[in-house]
Amino acid sequence: MNRPTHSSPPAEISLQLAAGGWHCSHLYYSWDRGVLARMSAEDISAGRIDVISALDPKGSVAPLRLQTSIVSGHKADFSLMLMDPDPLKVDCVHQRLMASPLGPALTPGYSFVSVTEISEYVPSVEDFSKRLLAEGETEESPTFAPKVKGYVDRLVGMNRQRLTPTLPEYPNTCFYPMNKKRKVGENWFLLSKEERNKMMGEHARSGMAFAGKVSQLITVGLGFDDWEWGVTLWAANPEFLKEIVYRMRFDEASARYAEFGPFLVSYVSSAEAMLDHCLI
């Protein structure tokens, strides 16, 4: 059986994100059991090979980040998280899946398209210095300069992780989209920068309590999707996903100003393990 071949998008239509971040897609699929039941063993076998190839993170045309997960619940059977500077290279994975012999049995369910960025609420070096001074430090203090240098060094790594993230090795993951409210009396965007910074600082401190247990990545859907942000969490234990979401919802930034979309929980796997789990 002849099958189409796929390569990376032509250079002349390759797109870049000017700010230095990456394009990101969360994709969710379900298997149509009725279609699978009517497919030949040959097509299913060939399809498995194509799907495993398309979802190989080390494949020659794979985006820089590709993670497959088995989804818990009926919202989907499996999910993909894809990131690359080139949005067409990200989309190429979806096209390869749909064009494979198993494509007719795939039903795309949900997707979220976004980009990575450095949040406006990340304290600058100047902000960090002002905070030290407000806490009683002086510029002449022997500890002032080392503290500022230490923050500069950490900031470089933190910003690199926000723009070009390395996916953690935790096996449990959860994704949900969210907005900030624009309601009368609860309009996040009418608050002063100082008020927003204060609340986001509280929110960040709540998250820091889960260091070593949970890793988080926030990507921006503004102008790309129906929700403003996408939150991806990875955890060493699924219980930690519940705990961090529960804890952070009490922060004012969430309790008063946040709106949440669907929650999709999944478990990181290889493409082959996903197919075996779904009995394909």
Q: Which of the two residues, 20 and 181, has the higher pLDDT score?
A: 181
The whole-number average pLDDT for the span 226-248 is 96
The whole-number average pLDDT for the span 140-162 is 86
CA dist 248 and 255 (Å) reads: 8
Q: Please choose, from the candidates 188, 169, 176, 146, the residue with its C-alpha nearest in 3D space to the C-alpha of residue 244.
A: 176
- 127: confidence class by pLDDT, cuts 50, 70, 90: confident
Does residue 110 have an active-site annotation? Answer: no
**Tokens coding 137:** 């430090």
Which residues are paired to 269 by β-bridges? 68
The answer for residues whose C-beta is within 8 angstroms of residue 233's C-beta and 6 or more apart is 173, 174, 175, 214, 215, 216, 241, 244, 245
- 212: confidence class by pLDDT, cuts 50, 70, 90: very high
CA dist 41 and 278 (Å) reads: 16
The whole-number average pLDDT for the span 8-25 is 61
DSSP category for residue 19: T
How far is the CA of 111 from the CAs of 25, 106, 242, in angstroms? Answer: 7, 14, 23
pTM for the whole structure: 0.87
The stretches of 55-124 forming alpha helices (DSSP H) are 87-99
pLDDT in tens, 63-122: 999 999 999 999 999 999 999 999 999 999 999 999 999 999 999 999 999 999 988 777
| Set 170, 176, 246, 257: catalytic member | 176
Buried-state track 184-214, b at ≥16 Cβ within 10 A, e below 16: eeeebeeeeeeebeebbeebbebbeebeebb
- 152: confidence class by pLDDT, cuts 50, 70, 90: confident
pLDDT in tens, 195-205: 998 999 888 88
Q: Is the pLDDT of residue 5 over 50?
A: no
Percent of the chain, pLDDT > 90? 71
